[in-house]
Amino acid sequence: MRDRASGIQRRLAAFLCADVAGYTRLMNVDERGTLRLLSAYREITDRQIERHGGRIANTAGDSILAEFPSAVDAVQCAVAVQEKITTANQEVPEDRRVIFRIGVHVGEAMVREGDLFGNGVNVAARLQSLAQPGSICVSGTTHEYVHRVLPLMFEDLGPQSVKNLDAPVRAFLIRPSAELVTKALPPVHRNNEFYLARRFQALCMTALTEIAREVKVEALDTAVLATVDEAPGITLQQLAERAGIDLATTEQSVKRLAERRLLTDHEQNTDNENTQGFYLTPSGLELRLWFRTRFLAAQDRVMAPLSDRERETFKDFLSRVIKANAAEDKES
């Protein structure tokens, strides 16, 4: 129903409110690290909201407000978010963990220019404040819709008096399953250097592949784009060496990018020899900039559990290892 005079639409929906428990303390301890970790976890929450058919109506600092077409969708999303963040937090020191509290309510809200407000939203926000860190608090109305459909354990908290509401709200607590969606690194592998190196490479390649897949290119093509951008006019042999890819694979990548009109080549005369130099097209330069932004975000996501000092130490260590191996290759 729409109030034409005010431009306000009223509708019934399921509302999810989330915020970070102890956010102020986390910011005081490590502001940059907390913001980086929160940004990485927001990718988890946003992706789950989208997958469960929700719409993000508002975000401010550490809080999230989303609406869903059904209570089942909203609760399933809340459970998935809590389970995935619990898994991610296993690799983060306990005093730096970003842990969400979530409230879910089904009711009427008012919508104006995409923003949500009204009694339904207020109840969801109050339930979120009742939730324990890492848990979900749902209203009695929500419980009626989902308890016969979803195989979850509900802890009845009884009627709860909440701020700015005349009548108490019946509340139920849901704790995420102890069986995590993905396993964290088993203790037996923590001292296995080979396994750690392989896991780290897999994490980086997964992030890079996800980015490349969005624009339907191969993951290695991103390295070729970056290398040509850094060294316009580079030859095929130089490109292979600088990108750290064998010549045949580099040639295939160049061909793919040329077919997409992201890369072009020009004949150039060097030391009385005609060689083929590669350049990015305007479309290639635009895609390279897009890749760089997304890659930096992915890098932050992969390294989010590390403090600033640990990140710099780690980057310095990787840089020294690469330089040492490059020098060894030249000598041989």
Domain of 203: which CATH number? 1.10.10.10
What three-state secondary structure class fits 159? strand
* Residue 139: pLDDT over 70: yes
Instruction: Note whether 86 and 62 are within 8 A (CB).
Output: no
* Distance, CA of 301 to chain centre: 7
Counting residues of the chain whose pLDDT is more than 70, the rounded percentage is 86
Residues 179, 100, 210, 193: is their CA dihedral positive or negative?
negative
* Residue 86: pLDDT over 60: yes
Q: Which residue among 174, 195, 230 closes a domain?
A: 174
Mean per-residue pLDDT, 128-137: 93
* Residue 50: pLDDT over 80: yes
Instruction: Note whether 134 and 126 are within 8 A (CB).
Output: no
pLDDT band at 15 (very low <50, low <70, confident <90, very high): very high
If 0-12 CB within 10 Å is exposed, 13-18 middle and 19+ buried, where does residue 160 land? middle
Looking at the structure, tell me whether residues 286 and 317 fall in a common domain: yes
- Which of 31-45, 164-178, 245-259, 301-315 is least confident? 301-315
d(CA 318, CA 12): 53
| Widest CA span in the chain | 89
Report the candidate in 255, 251, 252 with the shortest Cα–Cα distance to residue 263.
Answer: 255
What three-state secondary structure class fits 65? strand
Report the candidate in 219, 275, 262 with the shortest Cα–Cα distance to residue 243.
Answer: 219
Burial 166-178 (b: 16+ CB within 10 A, else e): eeebbbbbbbbee
Structure confidence by residue, pLDDT tens digits, 225-283: 988 998 888 888 888 888 888 889 999 999 999 999 999 887 655 555 556 789 999 99
Given the DSSP bridges, would you call strands 2-3 and 154-160 parallel, antiparallel or unpaired? unpaired
Mean per-residue pLDDT, 275-303: 82
Looking at the structure, tell me whether residues 135 and 217 fall in a common domain: no
What three-state secondary structure class fits 28? helix
Looking at the structure, tell me whether residues 99 and 162 fall in a common domain: yes
- Which of 18-32, 132-146, 218-232, 303-317 is least confident? 303-317
Q: Which residue among 119, 152, 174 closes a domain?
A: 174
What three-state secondary structure class fits 56? strand
326: number of Cβ within 10 Å: 12
- Which of 5-14, 30-39, 254-263 is least confident? 5-14
* Distance, CA of 147 to chain centre: 30
Instruction: Note whether 109 and 121 are within 8 A (CB).
Output: yes
Looking at the structure, tell me whether residues 169 and 210 fall in a common domain: no
* Residue 308: pLDDT over 80: no
* Residue 16: pLDDT over 90: yes
What three-state secondary structure class fits 218? coil
The length of the chain is: 332
* Residue 58: pLDDT over 90: no
Looking at the structure, tell me whether residues 219 and 245 fall in a common domain: yes
Instruction: Note whether 12 and 71 are within 8 A (CB).
Output: no
Looking at the structure, tell me whether residues 93 and 233 fall in a common domain: no
Instruction: Give the domain extent around 285.
Output: 187-331
Structural domain contains residue 312: yes
Residue 28, domain CATH: 3.30.70.1230
Instruction: Note whether 83 and 41 are within 8 A (CB).
Output: no
Q: What integer best gives the mean pLDDT of the chain?
A: 82
Structural domain contains residue 179: no
Structural domain contains residue 180: no
d(CA 141, CA 55): 21
pLDDT band at 1 (very low <50, low <70, confident <90, very high): very low
* Residue 6: pLDDT over 60: no
Structural domain contains residue 266: yes
* Residue 184: pLDDT over 70: no
For residue 181, the model assigns a pLDDT of 45
Looking at the structure, tell me whether residues 18 and 167 fall in a common domain: yes
Q: Which residue among 111, 143, 174 closes a domain?
A: 174
Overall domain count for the chain:
2
d(CA 239, CA 260): 19
Looking at the structure, tell me whether residues 59 and 139 fall in a common domain: yes
Looking at the structure, tell me whether residues 19 and 167 fall in a common domain: yes
Structural domain contains residue 181: no
Looking at the structure, tell me whether residues 211 and 287 fall in a common domain: yes
Structural domain contains residue 182: no
- Which of 118-132, 144-158, 211-225, 302-316 is least confident? 302-316
Report the candidate in 151, 152, 157 with the shortest Cα–Cα distance to residue 132.
Answer: 157
* Residue 182: pLDDT over 60: no
For residue 328, the model assigns a pLDDT of 65
Structure tokens of 99?
């842990």
List alpha helices for 90-178, DSSP H. 119-130, 140-146
Mean per-residue pLDDT, 159-186: 72
* Residue 179: pLDDT over 60: no
Looking at the structure, tell me whether residues 30 and 169 fall in a common domain: yes
Instruction: Note whether 106 and 95 are within 8 A (CB).
Output: no
Looking at the structure, tell me whether residues 58 and 195 fall in a common domain: no
Does this model's pTM top 0.85? no
Mean per-residue pLDDT, 297-324: 75
For residue 267, the model assigns a pLDDT of 64
* Residue 19: pLDDT over 60: yes
